[in-house]
Chain A
Amino acid sequence: MDRALFPDGVERCSFGKFALWMGFVTAFFLFGLYAMILIFAKGIVVTGLDNYFGFGLWITFDLAVIALGAGAFFTGFLKYILKIDQLKNIINLTVIIGFICYSGAMLVLTMDIGQPIRAWFGYWHPNVHSMLTEVIFCITCYCLVLIIEYVPLILEQKQLNKIPFLHHLAHNMHVNMALFAGIGAFLSTFHQGSLGGMYGVLMGRPYAFREGFFIWPWTFFLFVLSAVGSGPIFTVLCCTLMEKMTGRKLVDFKTKALMGKIAGTMLTVYIFFKILDTWAWANNFLPSVGMTFDQMFYGIIYGKWLMFTEIILCGLVPAIMLITPSIRNNPTLLYTAGILDCIGVTLNRYLFTVQAIAIPVMPFDSWQFYYPNWTEWSTCGMIVAYGVIVMSLSYRYLPVFPQERALNK
């Protein structure tokens, strides 16, 4: 019944099936919405956070989706600035994923702060020395850029595009996309870095603190690198998942493998520096504050296995897999490496967020545990559901994949 709205020459499932799917996802969304309303009404006292764990699942989730959403700015940069033309096959998808990740993260942040009504204070009374201020500014600006990049895609919807004004608007926006891609790359690099900087400046938290270059601690650069080392492959994974669900080919494997190569190259650079950094941290910094590597870990929940999983299994291994052409060109192995890569960056963000503040620094203090409760999980679930809804609508009605027609002949 909504066939007239489909992009030209492609097949989509029946409206009934689509409605069923949307209903299923909306149920998750509504459950999260209920938790969100509860949080706004009663405050974050309903979460599992406490005075030891001021940061928890939400901040981890935010940092992880922002890193995984990095496919948007980095692919944009490669496509529009470095002119790697093949990336046009997947660029729309990276923009949508980026938009979902950033808008979702911003929504989570408004829940996370104790006084959501004061969220705008970040612009009104900015502390220029705070990495968080930079994050607030860059994330909002970059989210605007993503909207600007997303809008022409919406305007290209078959029916909308028949309106001459919208058609020309979309065209003109496309013409200037390189400019926005440039601004986006700049903003995004900075806040990816600032997110790392946020932890690197914590001189009271030996797990996170790092020396650095000028005002930027090493974590600044490591976060940028790990984001560009995982964002592109996350887009590939999303694309593959969509292909599996819809049964249609959306992007040719060559483009996916290229994204894998890009992510792999950056991941290799990242993991090289990450290992150096970890080595220097364990051998120089920690002893200088009287602490040892062993003191940074505890039991199973805070065990060393986390760090080894992060750096070796989900860092070094996928890096090697992605830069080796014979492995990368095998779909199963490419996706496996991609999944490991994404787990690695998420784990990294988790460790910097939760492990870093769980470690007792005062010798007479003790390890504490943090369990996110249902309100935190369900609101994160709400963001995921929101993403799935936006993605489903975009896939059904917008010309997201330029190759789709040719690939499904």
Chain B
Amino acid sequence: MKAKEFNIKWGMVIDLDKCTGCGACMTACQVENNIAPMVDASNKLRTLSWMLVYELSNKKAAPDAEIAYLPRPCMQCGNPTCVPVCPVIATDKNEEGGIVSQIYPRCIGCRYCMAACPYHARYFNWEDPIFPKGMEKTLSPNTSVRPRGVVEKCNFCHTRLMKAKDKARQEGGNPEALADGAYMPACAEVCPTGAISFGDIKNPEHKVHELAKGENAYRLLEKLGLAPQVYYVSKREWVRKLGDNYAATGKAGAEKKHS
């Protein structure tokens, strides 16, 4: 299967050597996207975290022990396995820029897409969102809240893209050729160490264009052929090696067969 291509390719490049695992991106995401705090969030397999920071370890004893942190948004796959499976077209990749949409009022909550996504990027609304008294005043007016029973996921803060396009129109610019930095998801904006870069990967004027081509850049599970639009960078080989499965060949960078 071939990845779906558009003129613009919104993508992220995350420098894992810069990420300190502080979790600011996760918080910013929750605030931006109006995710209600759970009364009991002790079961981590039931929480909503569109952006989730994983801890990676080289599994060595001190003094060689090393850890790294890996923020995981939705990869906005070029060949998303979640899209063709949806029985009601509640999720699609059909918009310039390649962001995989999620249409809450359409979703029937069958969770087939969740079973499909190997990155665990999709989340189910187990309960209706209830915001503690007073917190409703802090909600973002741009993002709709979702009812119980539907699936949701990161959409690169799609409303921010809309806003950036509107702004470009108002200022007489071209909404289809936004300048680098004109559109930033909340996580990329808030990251204190600048680990998350964001932009149009196809546009040479955007920083991510070069970053994604760097020799230490890679994508998660490339061999599965989902063609993510999120790239990671690390100078450490063990970190890069954790980006895909090599047990069968034993070495990093095995032949990619499925695309």
Contact = CB atoms under 8 A, between A and B. Distances in A.
Interface stretch (B22-30, B123-131, B159-167): B123-131
Contacts of A10: none
Nearest to B46: A50
Contacts of B257: 288-289
B88 A43 contact: no
B135 interface: no
Interface of A: 43-45, 49-55, 112-115, 118-119, 121-122, 124-127, 129-133, 136, 198, 201-206, 286-292, 294-295, 356-357, 361-365, 368
A198 to B, nearest CB: 7
Given A114-B150, A118-B106, 19 more contacts: A54-B111, A113-B108, A115-B150, A125-B88, A127-B86, A133-B88, A201-B85, A203-B79, A203-B224, A289-B245, A290-B244, A290-B245, A290-B247, A292-B248, A362-B54, A362-B119, A363-B241, A364-B242, A368-B45
Tell me if A's interface is mostly helix, strand, loop or mixed: loop
Contact of B223 (A121, A289, A292): A289
A121 B108 CA distance: 7
A118 B104 CA distance: 12
Contact of A363 (B109, B149, B242): B242
A133 B87 contact: yes
B214 interface: no
B108 A198 contact: no
29 contacts: A43-B127, A43-B149, A44-B149, A51-B114, A51-B122, A53-B45, A54-B112, A113-B108, A114-B148, A115-B107, A115-B150, A118-B106, A121-B88, A127-B87, A129-B84, A130-B86, A132-B86, A132-B112, A133-B88, A201-B81, A202-B116, A206-B224, A289-B245, A290-B254, A361-B245, A363-B242, A363-B243, A365-B54, A365-B120
- Report, nearest first, the 3 A-B pairs whose CB atoms are least far apart: A114-B109, A114-B149, A54-B111
Contacts of A126: 87-89
Contact of B89 (A127, A286, A356, A362): A127
A224 to B, nearest CB: 20
Contacts, number: 177
Interface of B: 1, 43, 45-47, 54-56, 70, 79, 81, 84-90, 106-112, 114-120, 122-127, 147-151, 220-221, 223-226, 241-249, 254, 257-258
Given A50-B43, A55-B115, A290-B245, A201 B110 contact: no
* Residue of A44, A115, A125, A368 ringed by the most chain B CB atoms within 10 A: A115
A51 B124 contact: yes
A88 B149 CA distance: 45
A115 B108 contact: yes
Tell me if B's interface is mostly helix, strand, loop or mixed: loop
A156 to B, nearest CB: 38
B155 to A, nearest CB: 17
B118 A198 contact: no
Given A115-B108, A286-B248, A290-B245, A205 B118 contact: yes
B59 to A, nearest CB: 10
B116 A205 contact: yes
Contact of A290 (B106, B220, B249): B249
A356 B123 CA distance: 18
Contact of A362 (B79, B111, B118): B118
A367 to B, nearest CB: 12
Contacts of B243: 363
B89 A115 contact: no
Contacts of B119: 204, 362
B127 A295 contact: no
Contacts of B245: 289-291, 295, 361, 363
